[in-house]
Amino acid sequence: MSHHHHHHHHHVDPEAGDFRMALAVGVNILLTVAQVVGGILSGSLAMIADALHNFSDAISLIIAALARKIARRPANADMPFGYARAETVAALINYTTLIVIGVYLMIEAILRFLSPEPVEGWMIVIIAGVALVIDVVTALLTYSMSKDSQNIRAAFLHNVADAMGSLAVILAGTLILLFGWTWVDPLVTLLIAGYILWMAFAEVGGVIRVLMLGSPPDVVPAQVLEAAQAIEGVAGLHKAHLWQVDEHTAALQAHLVVDEGAWARADGIKRAVKEEMQSRFGLRQVTLELECSRHSCASPQDWGDA
One domain, residues 98 and 231: no
Sequence-ordered strand ranges (E) for the chain: 234-246, 249-258, 285-292
- The answer to whether 173 touches 128, Cβ cutoff 8 Å, is yes
Contacts (Cβ under 8 Å, ≥6 apart) of 137: 24, 27
Number of domains in the chain: 2
Q: What is the pLDDT of residue 13?
A: 64
One domain, residues 64 and 166: yes
φ, ψ at 236 (rounded to 5°): 170, 170
pTM given for the model: 0.77
Q: What is the pLDDT of residue 7?
A: 43
Helical residues (DSSP H) of 150-265, grouped into ranges? 150-179, 184-211, 221-229
φ, ψ at 256 (rounded to 5°): -105, 115
Evaluate whether residue 304 is within a structural domain: no
Handedness of CA 210, 10, 99, 33 (dihedral sign): positive
Annotate 36-56 with DSSP letters as a single string.
HHHHHHHT-HHHHHHHHHHHH
The model's confidence at residue 109, banded by pLDDT at 50, 70 and 90, is confident
Evaluate whether residue 305 is within a structural domain: no
Q: How far is CA 136 from CA 29, 55, 143, 183, 210, in A?
A: 15, 15, 10, 27, 30
> Minimal CA–CA distance to 229: which of 292, 273, 286?
273
One domain, residues 167 and 45: yes
Which domain CATH number covers 16? 1.20.1510.10
One domain, residues 270 and 200: no
pLDDT tens, residue by residue, 156-172: 887 787 787 778 878 88
One domain, residues 109 and 141: yes
One domain, residues 188 and 257: no
Inform me whether the pLDDT recorded for 122 exceeds 90.
Answer: no
**DSSP 8-state assignment for residue 6:** G
Inform me whether the pLDDT recorded for 3 exceeds 60.
Answer: no
One domain, residues 58 and 25: yes
One domain, residues 170 and 288: no
One domain, residues 90 and 226: no
Domain final residue, candidates 150, 176, 211: 211
Inform me whether the pLDDT recorded for 8 exceeds 50.
Answer: no
Residue type, 106: M
Evaluate whether residue 216 is within a structural domain: no
Task: Write out the residue range of the structural domain in which residue 29 sits.
Answer: 5-211
- The answer to whether 217 touches 56, Cβ cutoff 8 Å, is no
More confident site: 143 or 204: 204
Domain final residue, candidates 211, 242, 258: 211
pLDDT tens, residue by residue, 140-158: 877 877 877 888 888 888 7
One domain, residues 71 and 145: yes
Which domain CATH number covers 278? 3.30.70.1350
* Pairing of the two strands 285-292 and 249-258: parallel
Inform me whether the pLDDT recorded for 105 exceeds 80.
Answer: yes
Domain final residue, candidates 184, 211, 238: 211
Evaluate whether residue 47 is within a structural domain: yes
- The answer to whether 293 touches 259, Cβ cutoff 8 Å, is yes
